[in-house]
Structure 1
């Protein structure tokens, strides 16, 4: 599988119906994974905790990729994440991300996230642990 396909499948699978599933996360992400969201750094275990927070707060998350490009061992995306929350409200984010891939696993993600729609309490939903 190519790096672009890996990132697309990771976004769809990890944020899809099995959100929070450790086996699904481990299929795409290295145990040495580091994510930096808007300057906040989290490791693999904190990423798993983040996915569980998203599972508890949302009914579904839909990812729409606007653009995607591949560089040396990395994939850059501009995508939108629309979260339907359990309380019926909706939050939407624009995300610029750079995924670093090593041995067919995502080892790092650096991203900037901008909330387009949602309440003030959801500003940190993209990195909440």
Structure 2
């Protein structure tokens, strides 16, 4: 029941952050950021297991690993951008959080271009001349 541990840690950190916010807002923010990092570290093993399963499926399906790696990078960009934006929002910087999200979306589009190109080329080849 990993989720119980994660929720417990989150609730404990929330209570501590609320208490600290009155006296030392900077420490409350640091506690929040640190808690997020701990939760992320806790999940790294699970993320690794998912990636290994996806790699095995790609190999069995004879899918080019470049596609899988690109998709995993895109997913990573999305999660990292969201995580960073949430931390910045917690610090009260909505404008910067929006820029982080926009940057993540642009980087995702850049990473997706090779896949989109291959899909379009494949569709064009299938069309009668």
Identify whether the pair has TM-score above 0.5, normalized to the shorter chain. Answer: no
Say which structure is richer in helix: 2
Higher relative contact order (CA 8 A, sep 6+): 1
Bigger Rg over Cα: 2
Name the one with the larger strand percent. Answer: 1
